[in-house]
Amino acid sequence: MDTQIKDAPPPAPQPPTAEQKRAARGATRPGDRIFLGLSRGSGILLLVIMAAIAGFLTYRASIAISKDDANFLTSFEWNTGLVPPKFGIAVLVFGTVVSSIIAMVIAVPIAVAIALFLTHYAPRRLSGPIAYVIDLLAAVPSIVYGLWGALILVPHMNGLYGWLNDYLGWTGIFSWQGGAPRSMLTVGILLAIMILPIITNVSREVFRQAPQMIEEAALALGATRWEVIRMAVIPFGRSGVISASMLGLGRALGETMAVATVLSPTFDIQSSLLDPGGGTFAQNIASKFSEASDLGRDALIASGLVLFVITLLVNGAARMIIARRKEYSGANA
Amino acid sequence: MSNAVIAEKRPSTLQGARLPKWSPWAIAVGSVALGLGISAAAGLDSSIQWALIAGLLFVLGTYVIAARVEGRRQAKDRIATSLVWVAFLLALIPLISLVWSTVSRGVKVLDLYFLTHSMGLTADSEPGGGIYHAILGSLEQVGLATVLAAPVGVLTAIYLVEYGRGRLAKAVTFFVDVMTGIPSIVAGLFILSIMLMFDMQPFGFAGSMALAILMMPVVVRSTEEMLKLVPNELREASLALGVPKWRTILKVVLPTSIGGITTGIMLAIARIAGETAPVLLLVWGNSLINANPFEGAQQSLPLYIYQQYANSAGSGAAYDRAWAASLTLIAFVMILNLVARGIARWKAPKTGR
């Protein structure tokens, strides 16, 4: 590659203002100016796109909300065809939050356990390939998870649903009237399976960076492996695990196709997690979109804006946690 | 106290009493047998139930036995070990099932005919037909998205690594991070809101634009990481020879990191190739072959899977096609992944890190 260097132009004679020129290095020659302009322009383009997303969605949403006869945030209806139209996102907020919470409750402990397994328990020869496979699983498209969930997972949920209904049905949350198990619980389980690889990957990276010296010191003092993990690895990795979980949460919140294939949606809130019904933001957009009128589309865009803001907050928080961690942990240095 | 007793018996070792190596397996076999026995006796037929009983028995058995022989701390350690193993094995079940069912059901109709025909003459509920139109649409949309996103992404990363200081760079970094988390359907809605404004009909390139939005932050992130790996000595040597900075970047920095950058772009392609939601909103799907991404509805592979599942009212032939298309899509994504990782390994910058 260094053969190319010899046809470079000779260095320009330095005028007396060399100090200033060096300060503005990269913008002195025309080639440099163009290149800097291009690359800075791309960066600015990204910001413009983000602003445009927020702007356009807000604009269309405001059109829809101004025509909305019900309270957009608290109404339980979605009737954009009515005159005057009535729609609100209360059901969607509920469904999105509940399915994501189920997914997190299942996925985070298992993902952390797998990450610990890969870093501290698995035989060396096994952990490399397994980590690789988990990497690949993170790349499986969500529609494939959706198809699998709808055709394989749903029929297999009957047993679990019956069992939950028999023993925990008295709580009300786990009562089941015998409908097809296309409900929030199945959605949550499927989402958990989908976000498992991401959370595992990030947590594994964090655990692997845990300071070796402290672990060895603890072992030398006679700590068991579990004590080492509890005292040296987990405290070190806590913020990393939190941010990994929030990345997974962001994905669960915005997941469309897996929910759309598995859930049999209704626009109301089911008191039981096992009875089919409810909906999430993304699923509602995907399944209502094709029949929506003009106003209906704007209403869906309005609900998309809410989803956008929620995921923005979740992801922003996750990034802040990661950034803060970088500052105080000297382990990477 | 049992420790002390046993330690007295074997004064030559400093170690406390340990269970033999085979004991976890023995306890596992015992608890599975007991779990099966209990569920058979109680007439429980769900496989989840006996697995649950066996699992509980295993954890309890391990704790009690280990606590008696080795002491409480060791028992806790053993429980943690078995829980970690259980979590791992538990997670394997759905993932293996996913891969297995896709492969075993996908190969049923996956043949040359399937890959080279469209759904133009086949109703969704009938057997026959294929995914040629979907593959074509996917390739065009993803290709155009890559053409849009890759240069912007790489240039942004160059800006961040080579030039970026100050507030603009910080803002770009932050928003790239945030952009990574945009749900795909929101990217679709954004392009849709523009299309609504100009009263446009769905077409392939609209999908490409949404996919490009999803792809850009991924490319920026990975390229940034790769550029940071290029040793500063190389840059300094080139600059010291009087080479302008832009030529240094083009001729020294990029060639050094091109392997990693290619890998990042390919992984990003693999990610967007499976996106359904924006394509559903913007490209609509089409059972006919439409090779023009700039006019008219197109099909794409993930959307095809969804429509075969959703619009066919439970027809077995449609499900078979959906599985076969899934297998094709997964194969495409996996091959991209494997090739990308291969390139990364082969072209990794020799930094001796």
- Smallest Cβ–Cβ distance between B193 and the set A45, A60, A135 belongs to A60
Confidence of residue A26 (pLDDT cuts 50, 70, 90): very low
pLDDT for res B7: 47
pLDDT for res B58: 83
- Position with higher pLDDT, B146 vs B38: B146
Identify whether residues B123 and B49 lie together within a single domain: no
Q: Which residue of A has its CA nearest to B177?
A: A319
Is B63's Cβ below 8 Å from some Cβ in A? no
Confidence of residue B351 (pLDDT cuts 50, 70, 90): low
pLDDT tens-place string over residues B253-305: 999 898 889 989 998 999 899 999 999 999 988 888 999 999 989 999 999 99
Query: Is residue B230 a part of any domain in this protein?
Result: yes
Confidence of residue A28 (pLDDT cuts 50, 70, 90): low
Query: Is residue B256 a part of any domain in this protein?
Result: yes
Is B190's Cβ below 8 Å from some Cβ in A? yes
Q: Which residue of B has its CA nearest to A25?
A: B245
Measure the CA–CA gap between B175 and A14, rounded to whole angstroms: 39
Identify whether residues B327 and B292 lie together within a single domain: yes
Identify whether residues B127 and B43 lie together within a single domain: no
Query: Which residue, B104, B129, B146, sits at the end of a domain?
Result: B104
pLDDT for res A209: 86
Question: What tokens were used for B121?
Answer: 């003459």
pLDDT tens-place string over residues A122-167: 888 888 888 888 888 888 999 999 999 999 999 888 878 888 888 8
Measure the CA–CA gap between B190 and B207, rounded to whole angstroms: 11
Contact residues, chain B, for A247 at CB < 8 Å: 181
Q: Give the percent of chain A with pLDDT over 90.
A: 41
Query: Is residue B351 a part of any domain in this protein?
Result: no
Confidence of residue B9 (pLDDT cuts 50, 70, 90): low
Lowest mean pLDDT of A172-181, A192-201, B99-108, B143-152, name the range: A172-181
Nearest to residue B75, comparing CAs of B25, B14, B17, B131?
B17
Amino acid at B317: A
pLDDT for res A180: 85
> Are B136 and B117 within 8 A, CB to CB?
no
Identify whether residues B173 and B310 lie together within a single domain: yes
Identify whether residues B26 and B159 lie together within a single domain: no
pLDDT for res A262: 92
- Compute CA distances B44 → A120, A170, B38, B41, whole Å: 37, 20, 8, 8
Identify whether residues B88 and B124 lie together within a single domain: no
Q: What mean pLDDT value characterizes chain B?
A: 86
Interface test with chain B among A28, A46, A205, by most B beta carbons within 10 Å: A46
- Position with higher pLDDT, A246 vs A328: A246
Measure the CA–CA gap between B318 and B123, rounded to whole angstroms: 9
> Are A147 and A257 within 8 A, CB to CB?
no
The domain of B291 spans 116-346
Query: Is residue B353 a part of any domain in this protein?
Result: no
pLDDT for res A332: 40
Q: Which residue of B has its CA nearest to A298?
A: B193
Identify whether residues B296 and B235 lie together within a single domain: yes
pLDDT for res B294: 92
Give the CATH number, domain containing residue B230. 1.10.3720.10
Is A227's Cβ below 8 Å from some Cβ in B? yes
Identify whether residues B86 and B8 lie together within a single domain: yes
Query: Is residue B277 a part of any domain in this protein?
Result: yes
pLDDT for res A330: 41
Query: Which residue, B83, B104, B125, sits at the end of a domain?
Result: B104
Query: Is residue B352 a part of any domain in this protein?
Result: no
CATH number of A90-332: 1.10.3720.10
Measure the CA–CA gap between B342 and B338, rounded to whole angstroms: 6
Is A261's Cβ below 8 Å from some Cβ in B? yes
Confidence of residue A20 (pLDDT cuts 50, 70, 90): low
Identify whether residues B232 and B320 lie together within a single domain: yes
Query: Is residue B68 a part of any domain in this protein?
Result: yes
Q: What is the pTM of this model?
A: 0.88
Is B15's Cβ below 8 Å from some Cβ in A? no
pLDDT tens-place string over residues B204-248: 999 999 999 999 999 999 999 899 988 999 999 999 999 999 999
User: In sequence order, which ranges of chain A are alpha helices (DSSP H)?
Assistant: 18-23, 30-67, 90-116, 124-137, 142-148, 154-168, 184-208, 212-220, 225-228, 234-254, 257-262, 281-289, 294-328
Query: Is residue B110 a part of any domain in this protein?
Result: no
The angle, 0 to 180 degrees and rounded to 10, between the axes of the packed helices A294-328 and A234-254 is: 170
Identify whether residues B194 and B155 lie together within a single domain: yes
**How many domains does one find in chain B?**
2
